[in-house]
Amino acid sequence: MTPSVTTGRRTATRTAPRTGPVDEALRGVLDAVPFACAAFDRRSGALVCANARFGADLGTLPGHAQRDALLATLHGEATGDARGDEVRAPGSGRWYALHWRDLDTNGRSLALLTAVDISERIETLDSHRSQQEKLLFTSRMMSVGEMAATLAHELNQPLAAIVNYLNGSLRLVGQAGGPVQVERALQAARTQAEHAAAVIARVREFVRAREPRRDAQDLPLIVDTVLELLRLEAERQQLRVELALAPGLPQVYADRVMVEQVLLNLVKNAIEAMREVPAARRGLRIEGRVNLDGEVEVRVCDRGPGLSEAESAQLFSPFYTTKSDGLGIGLAICRSIIEYHEGRLFFEARDGGGSVFGFTLPPPDRRI
């Protein structure tokens, strides 16, 4: 049974559609069409008749017997960049291209609808798009990777030398019972150089293997390491650092050095953003929590000038920088690292002024 039968009855009291040989002839024609096809009365919008395919594909939708109600149902579901005449049927989830034609037959003004199932084409497009995204991601990763390989290569030697010189100096100061301030400064310098060397070693390994080395990690330890590396900088800027890590935070499944790198970049950016801000307002807050999707989320919140919409659109592109001494590569690296971890790097405006840069990481029990 086609839906037109139901419709005919339901609308009979109001619009009294003529049924008879003309409709029968029309139905005969519609039934011969290999895709969903229906005729609506142009004035009232009521369904006059439809073929069996229409009944099967769209005939169960709410409002299918009225042109406007049917369109509202279908267009309500249209998503993304689908064209206006390409709609998705709720329920079945199939895509249709809609075509309308006016048809005047036997004194009757009809609007003829054909709905061609284009689900296959849309699915192919979607899969191409996701392949393109993957390709883009890979090429971004490769350019970052190549640059990292060059840097790692060039920096490795001088860094090893710096650590050696610092070790030697520390020994000398120790033997001489030298000033404790000098000893502390040398130790701090060695910690920095060792971290840099660890990052470089990790990058070299990563570029070679193109695989992060991931296991269960404690987020508070990662945050501590990063804050220790930035302690001097924070003190110099008289920066208040507020830590708000939710108690009992689950471990994250991550490459420790890489996540440290991400956090270091974000915190450095936050500190740099507050250079011009009056000292009383300069406050950095690092939050750690489990978000609604069950991912661990880290948020670095500053009271800097924030970002305009235009600025935030370019934020993650490599080489975008507003700093005279910036390379504009920090956030691009962060994004690549976080994407590798199947996480998300994001930016939000902060309530009360400033920015929030954050990322998510899957907990170990959700690793892929």
Dig out the tokens for 311 from the structure: 């600025």
Q: Does 112 bind ligand ATP (CB under 6 A)?
A: no
Q: Does 362 bind Mg ion (CB under 5 A)?
A: no
Largest CA distance in the chain: 114
CB of 265 to Mg ion, least distance (A): 5
Q: Which residues pair with 282 in a beta bridge?
A: none
Residue whose C-alpha is closest to residue 267's, from 244, 301, 239, 235:
301
Q: Does 269 bind Mg ion (CB under 5 A)?
A: yes
Q: Which position among 321, 344, 350, 363 is part of the footprint of ligand ATP (CB under 6 A)?
A: 321
Q: Which position among 158, 179, 294, 326 is part of the footprint of ligand ATP (CB under 6 A)?
A: 326
Kind plus residue range of the DSSP H or E element containing 269: helix 256-273
Provide the Cα torsion 134, 136, 142, 147; round to 10°.
-150
Q: Which residue is nearest to Mg ion (CB)?
A: 330
CB of 109 to ligand ATP, least distance (A): 60
Q: Does 307 bind ligand ATP (CB under 6 A)?
A: yes
Which parts of 45-104 interact with ligand ATP (CB under 6 A)? none
**Of residues 35 and 320, the one with the C-beta less far from Mg ion:** 320
**Of residues 159 and 267, the one with the C-beta less far from Mg ion:** 267
Q: What's the DSSP call for residue 46?
A: B
**Of residues 137 and 316, the one with the C-beta less far from Mg ion:** 316
Q: Does 44 bind ligand ATP (CB under 6 A)?
A: no
Task: Tally the C-alpha atoms within 13 A of residue 358's C-alpha that lie toward its C-beta.
Answer: 20
**Of residues 186 and 334, the one with the C-beta less far from ligand ATP:** 334
> What does 273 bind: ligand ATP, Mg ion, none (CB cut-off 5 to 8 Å by kind)?
ligand ATP
Q: Which position among 212, 330, 354, 358 is part of the footprint of Mg ion (CB under 5 A)?
A: 330
E-state strands within the chain: 36-41, 47-50, 86-88, 95-105, 108-117, 215-217, 240-245, 252-254, 283-290, 296-301, 345-349, 355-361
Query: Is 153 in a helix, a strand, or coil?
Result: helix
Binding site for ligand ATP (CB under 6 A): 265, 269-270, 273, 302, 304, 307, 315, 320-323, 326-332, 355, 357
